[in-house]
């Protein structure tokens, strides 16, 4: 496709051409109105001039009769250029005047007419057009007075020429403007298209150019670049998830297969077979927990929430889950302290909120024990409060903590700071919490507890009839 063919296909070029056509129509209408109004003014002036001449001739007829009128017409025919005179008797014979070959006009009704006539001046004759006033005198005499339309014809010609030149100039300048504007708009679009082609070719680090002028193309490029960054992050996360799935599932599957092989090879009593089956079921349950967690994250991120959202009193949810996890904390040698400073209501799903809270407590129980095992560790602290229109559930521990650079990363799937992976778990707990928080319009953030970690789940308060509860 040539450059011109590509140019005329652009939206910018078509838009400019459309505006050009609209402007031409308005310009033509304006010039047409000016021409019509000019003609109307000229005709009014011409009529007034003819009326003045008629009144003067009528006065001559009143003072001296037909003879004086004929003499006055003859004199004026020689002196007044552009005027048309005809004085005829009852038979239609011309008595005086400067027009010939217009006998047919005498048969018309009295009033205003436009006609073609032969004007005789200085011994020569000329065919022209005139606007005349015909009226009857006593004794069936007829007087016709008019003026040629040469001025109106010249004015009409000037207006037509001006209109043609103006419209031609508008088309030329408009076409040049359409070309310039389209090229200016097309240049950044071509740059964006080339960058998009490189991205599709596999250069995922490429980004659309931003000129820095702040127009709609810059805003579009910025949003598309943000989208590309997000896609790149998701693809990187997908690669990490794939690697982590392969790593985390390979170990339990290997143990599952090895246990089955060992049972087939060495088990000789029903008790040994039962123990092997128990280990197999335990490993299978671990695999099922992984897939259930992944399925929950996928459903939550897709908005497929079991049951409709409703108003949930967080104080009850926090108390129930804390009571449920107190034995697990005591078994790990930790105390769980509960602090409810407010009784907020949020719009959400009670089961999912309970699952998010359970994951936070379970994570604190697993990793919240201080490195110094010789003293009684401080209790885990679960607090519920409100702040700036948000309900906040804070789970604090006194464990080794999370480095600042890893606090966002731990919210991704299969991310575990413990590289040896000796502790139970698969790095999905906080991912589930983050997905549930996003579903409810909230967020989760990780802060330093000095020492330890504080995970804060923020949820917007429910609003009933415009009032925050």
> What's the CATH code, domain 310-370+377-468?
3.30.565.10
Place of tokens 């949020």: 346
Assign domain 3-154 to its CATH architecture. 2-Layer Sandwich (3.30)
Percent of the chain with pLDDT over 90: 6
Cα–Cα distance for residue pair 230/239, rounded to 1 Å: 14
Asked if the model's pLDDT at residue 144 lies above 80, the reply is: yes
pLDDT at 392 over 90: yes
Average pLDDT over residues 196-219: 82
Sign of the alpha-carbon torsion through 376, 382, 387, 392: positive
* Confidence (pLDDT) at 379: 87
pLDDT at residue 213 is higher than 60? yes
Percent of the chain with pLDDT over 70: 78
Instruction: Measure the CA–CA gap between 305 and 307, rounded to whole angstroms.
Output: 6
Residue among 125, 119, 89, 90 at smallest CA distance from 102: 119
pTM, full prediction: 0.48
Task: Return d(Cα 200, Cα 198) in angstroms, integer.
Answer: 5
Q: What is the pLDDT of residues 397-421, one digit of tens each?
A: 888 888 888 778 777 766 666 554 4
Give the separation between CA 469 and CA 462, rounded to whole angstroms: 6
Residue 236 has pLDDT above 50, yes or no: yes
| Mean pLDDT, the chain, integer | 78
Model pLDDT, residue 18:
78
**Residue 454, H or E segment:** strand 453-460
* Of 97-106, 150-159, 408-417, highest mean pLDDT: 150-159
Mean pLDDT to the nearest integer, 429-454:
86
User: What is the pLDDT confidence band of residue 241, given thresholds at 50, 70 and 90?
Assistant: low
Q: What is the mean pLDDT of residues 119-144?
A: 74
Angle at CA 178, nearest 5°, toward 177 and 181?
80
Indicate the pLDDT class of residue 217, thresholds 50, 70 and 90: confident
Parallel, antiparallel or unpaired: strands 141-148 and 124-137: antiparallel
Rounded CA-CA distance 383/400 in Å is: 20
Nearest CA-CA partner of 87 in 53, 114, 116 = 53
């Amino acid at each position: 496709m040539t450059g011109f063919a590509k140019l005329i296909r652009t939206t910018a070029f078509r838009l400019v051409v459309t505006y050009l056509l609209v402007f031409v129509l308005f310009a033509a209408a304006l010039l047409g109105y000016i021409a019509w109004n000019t003609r109307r003014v000229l005709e009014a002036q011409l009529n007034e001039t003819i009326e003045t001449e008629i009144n003067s001739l009528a006065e001559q007829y009143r003072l001296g009769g037909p003879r004086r009128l004929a003499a006055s017409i003859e004199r004026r025919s020689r002196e007044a250029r552009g005027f048309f005179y005809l004085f005829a008797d009852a038979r239609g014979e011309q008595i005086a005047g400067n027009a010939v070959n217009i006998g047919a006009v005498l048969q018309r009704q009295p009033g205003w007419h436009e006609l073609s006539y032969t004007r005789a001046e200085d011994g020569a004759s000329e065919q022209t057009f005139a606007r005349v006033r015909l009226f009857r005198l006593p004794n069936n005499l007829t007087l016709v007075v008019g003026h040629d339309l040469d001025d109106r014809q010249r004015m009409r010609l000037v207006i037509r020429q001006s209109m043609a030149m103006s419209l031609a100039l508008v088309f030329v300048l408009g076409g040049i403007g359409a070309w310039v504007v389209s090229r200016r708009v097309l240049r950044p679009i071509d740059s964006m298209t080339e960058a998009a082609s490189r991205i599709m070719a596999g250069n995922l680090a490429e980004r659309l150019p931003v000129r820095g002028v702040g127009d709609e193309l810059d805003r579009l490029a910025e949003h598309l670049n943000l989208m590309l960054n997000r896609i790149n992050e998701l693809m990187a996360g997908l690669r990490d998830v794939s690697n982590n799935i392969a790593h985390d599932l390979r170990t339990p599957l290997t143990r599952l297969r090895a246990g089955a092989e060992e049972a087939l090879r060495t088990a000789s009593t029903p008790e040994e077979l039962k123990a092997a089956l128990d280990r197999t079921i335990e490993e299978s349950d671990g695999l099922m927990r992984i897939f259930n967690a992944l399925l929950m994250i996928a459903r939550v991120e897709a908005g497929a929430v079991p049951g409709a959202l409703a108003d949930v009193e967080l104080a009850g949810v926090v108390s129930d889950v804390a009571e449920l996890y107190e034995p697990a904390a005591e078994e790990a040698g930790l105390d769980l302290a509960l602090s409810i400073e407010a009784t907020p209501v949020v719009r959400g799903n009670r089961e999912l909120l309970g699952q998010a809270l359970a994951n936070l407590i379970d994570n604190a129980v697993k990793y919240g024990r201080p490195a110094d095992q010789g003293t009684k560790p401080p209790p885990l602290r679960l607090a519920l409060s409100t702040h700036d229109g948000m309900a906040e559930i804070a789970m604090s521990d006194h464990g080794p903590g999370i480095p600042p650079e890893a606090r966002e990363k731990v919210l991704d799937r299969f991310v575990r700071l413990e590289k040896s992976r000796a502790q139970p778990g698969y790095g999905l707990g906080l991912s589930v919490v983050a997905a549930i928080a996003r579903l409810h319009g909230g967020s989760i953030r990780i802060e330093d507890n000095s020492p330890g970690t504080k995970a804060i789940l923020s949820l917007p308060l429910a609003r009933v009839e415009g009032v925050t509860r």
